[in-house]
Structure 1
Amino acid sequence: MDIIQVVGFSLPMFSALVCCVLMIMYRRGSSDTTQRRLAAIMILTYVSAVICWFGIIVYVADYDWFVWINTLFFFALILDQVLLYNFLYNITGTGKREKFHKLHYVIPVLLAVSMGVWSLLVPYEVQYYIVETRGEPAPGYLWYSRFFSSTVPIFIIYNIIYPLLGLFRVKAYHREVVNYSADEQRASAGWLYRLIFLVWLTLPVASGVLFVHKSVFFSSTLTVLGAFLPIFQYLIICYNLMSGNYVIIQPTETEESEGDGNAKARKIDRKKFETYIREKKPYLNSKLKITDMCVELGTNRSYLSSFINSEYGMNFSGYINRQRLDELDRIRVAPENRNAAGIDLVLCAGFSSYRSYIRVKARDDASQTIVF
């Protein structure tokens, strides 16, 4: 391999390895069950990524070694997107009690076992020939040759289907989280959308192997440059997970009941609600969730969300952040805050960060413009 290929295919491997170590340290230092579960999934994802990139380097550099690790490489390559989807699945729950279907893992295992068993029945020289010729069918072993070389097509299929499933999950999550959390920054699904986009962005490069010979494909500068895209994926996940930049919608017991007692418990008077908001100022809690208010108001999530929507024409997040903007306007004109820094006032008003405030303010200004 030339130096460009060495660097191009090694950097993603080492970046995944570094992220894996950071995730191990993060998991050890966390006592939260959800955080530890998410970290465990990502540790496996990073390990899978390391194996994938190591396999590509070996495929280019050493035919003999690749014959021996092909089954492991094949398994890691198709498992990578399943693990990533499992991670998204756990973050983007909408409050319903649901489990990740085991079939997602069963299929990669069956494919890998099939590859391993079949390879044990095929002479080593045949497998070496397929690698050396970059996918040319070995005489007398047409179907095995096709299966041996099916790694890239299967990889492309998985990189289309699983990000698409993830996109559906993220969109459903985004619709629900605005009625659950008022933390604009942590509840934003922007980085999840960017993650899916980056996965799809690798497809044009990976698809190139279907149209040009593998010897040309793996020596292409475009292929090497495309190998840098996954680095951003690894860093985005690692940063956002370690910084806690997400909100898990916790599942609750079934709240909807037709009993008269529950109906009375859920009823909220607008005047009393506004008195509660004015006096208790729950919006000053930057991590406020709708369930926090439900406890104090003696109601449930579904009713409170519906009440805010019908009475004020906005979702929970929009209503709470509107209160924060009003609070910011009040404390800005207070004499004692005349020399206070803007960021301090923003935090005092209940925003989790200045960036969160900017997002809310921009959206509020846009809505005001539309109304005007």
Structure 2
Amino acid sequence: MMTKEFLQYAGFSAPVISSLSCLVMLYLYRRRHIQPEEKPLYRLLMAYFGTVGILWVCSMVYVYCPVLYTRINLIYYIGLFWGQVVFYQFIYTLTRHPGERGFSPVHYLVPLVIVGVFAVWSAFVPFDVQLRIVTSRGEIVPGYEAYSHLFTARLLFRGIWNIIYTALAWWRLLGYRKSVSDYSANADRSSLSWVTLLLAISLSLVPPSLLSALYSKQVLISSLLLLVPQIMLVVQHAIVCYNMAVGNFIVIFYPEETEEEIDTEEQQPDENQDELEQKRRKFERYIHKTRPYLNPELKITDLAVSMRTNRCTLSRFINRQFGMNFSQYINQLRLQELKTLRNDPACARLSDEELACMSGFCNFRGYIRVKKMFGQEKKEQEAVSRKAVQSHSENKE
């Protein structure tokens, strides 16, 4: 039967093992399989796993070797802040729009200032006092009350820091979903649903940190409740490592455009109705002849190059002529293709999964996602129509 001490030791070891394992796996994968624009993502993830590994090693040292921890506690302190910042920079880079400014170094400088202040303060506090705070698991030492409170409040700071950066990551994700829908037609990968799960897990790590304000560290460390955030971290590592390895994401990238080209396209005068109608017929003939929507990885830049135009012009054209964004337009064509295949006797024996892939969907899950999306839009349109009719009837009366 497993003892409580063994479970505590395993709990501290699990995040270290998982983070370092993920670091090694991503390093080996990065050397062979990734695209140039994806390299910053993998570097940031490896930095994140390395930071988390060091952080939890310091946590083990805090519990099992207080003297050593007292000497290296600044490493633990900065790791608390930098781990969350690196993870946010990963989300920022993953959801970054072309032309958007780079990640601000201020996010890293603020923790350095905080830790710098603590380091200077620690230089005037005797080593024995610092060791006593560690060994007593947060005892307030007479004469050093303010320092003792700051020394033991790091978990509370971590919880607050976690909330701030998780909220920032949520905001980034919402903006990304609005932009990627006009860039990629892969509804499954562009949704980044696994990132949503990562952020939910990140928030689940906040309560244990905030509990440090109510209970002493002695109680928290001896409680098996501490295993919950440790297990959640391992799950988080597995999710991010798997999805990055299988490429379950889309980096918005416009390699063929310059700002001058975009500005030139946007400054062109509006065309008359006959010209637009002619362009629409030409565009539809091209789409139905070449059927680019059968490519599950189709991006608007791919279609723009094939049609010898600019992606801004193409995006604006689709929005104006069809009343939908690029992703909606392409996935609507895929749904029509799937309907055609289902009515084809030659495809009668094929499963829905096979038909979905033949229609251009990356997988069956992507098809289900698109089907729900269009179904929801149809319901909303019907609700708006009913409301308009009802309003008209009331006004008539």
TM-score (norm 1): 0.92
1:89 aligns with 2:97: no
1:278 aligns with 2:283: no
Residue in structure 2 matching 1:315, options 297, 300, 325: 325
1:259 Cα deviation from its structure 2 partner = 8.0
Residues of 2 paired with 1:227 and 1:293: CA distance? 46
SS of the residue corresponding to residue 140 of structure 1 reads: coil
8 Å contact 2:185–2:299 — kept in the other structure? yes
Residues of 1 paired with 2:269 and 2:76: CA distance? 56
Matches within 5 A, 1:135-154: 135-154=138-157
The aligned residue for residue 288 of structure 1 is 298
The aligned residue for residue 217 of structure 2 is 214
1:64 Cα deviation from its structure 2 partner = 1.3
Residues of 2 paired with 1:261 and 1:225: CA distance? 58
8 Å contact 1:30–1:36 — kept in the other structure? no
Residue in structure 2 matching 1:230, options 228, 233, 238: 233
Residue ranges of structure 2 left out of the alignment (5+ in a row):
383-397
1:215-264 C-alpha deviation (Å, 9 max, x unpaired):
11111122222321112221121111111111111154221337876877
1:327-366 C-alpha deviation (Å, 9 max, x unpaired):
1122233333233343332222111111111211232334
The aligned residue for residue 333 of structure 1 is 343
The range that moved more, 194-203 or 147-156, is 147-156
1:361 aligns with 2:371: yes
1:253 aligns with 2:258: yes
8 Å contact 1:82–1:105 — kept in the other structure? yes
The aligned residue for residue 353 of structure 2 is 343
Residues of 2 paired with 1:66 and 1:325: CA distance? 60
RMSD: 2.3
The range that moved more, 31-40 or 113-122, is 113-122
Larger radius of gyration: 2
8 Å contact 1:181–1:317 — kept in the other structure? yes
Paired residues, number: 371
SS of the residue corresponding to residue 251 of structure 2 reads: coil
8 Å contact 1:13–1:49 — kept in the other structure? yes
The range that moved more, 176-185 or 64-73, is 64-73
Residue in structure 1 matching 2:133, options 130, 133, 140: 130
Residues of 1 paired with 2:153 and 2:313: CA distance? 52
8 Å contact 2:338–2:355 — kept in the other structure? yes
Residues of 1 paired with 2:304 and 2:286: CA distance? 12
SS of the residue corresponding to residue 99 of structure 1 reads: coil
Residues of 1 paired with 2:141 and 2:115: CA distance? 20
1:65 aligns with 2:68: yes
Residues of 2 paired with 1:125 and 1:337: CA distance? 79
Residue in structure 2 matching 1:161, options 161, 164, 167: 164
Q: Share of identical aligned residues, percent?
A: 34
8 Å contact 1:218–1:224 — kept in the other structure? no
Residues of 1 paired with 2:265 and 2:180: CA distance? 26
SS of the residue corresponding to residue 186 of structure 1 reads: helix
Matches within 5 A, 1:163-202: 163-202=166-205
1:60-96 C-alpha deviation (Å, 9 max, x unpaired):
2222121122111111111111000000000001233
Residue ranges of structure 1 left out of the alignment (5+ in a row):
none
8 Å contact 2:187–2:370 — kept in the other structure? yes
1:154-212 C-alpha deviation (Å, 9 max, x unpaired):
21221011111111111000111111100111111211221111111111121111101
8 Å contact 1:12–1:230 — kept in the other structure? yes
Residues of 1 paired with 2:76 and 2:107: CA distance? 18
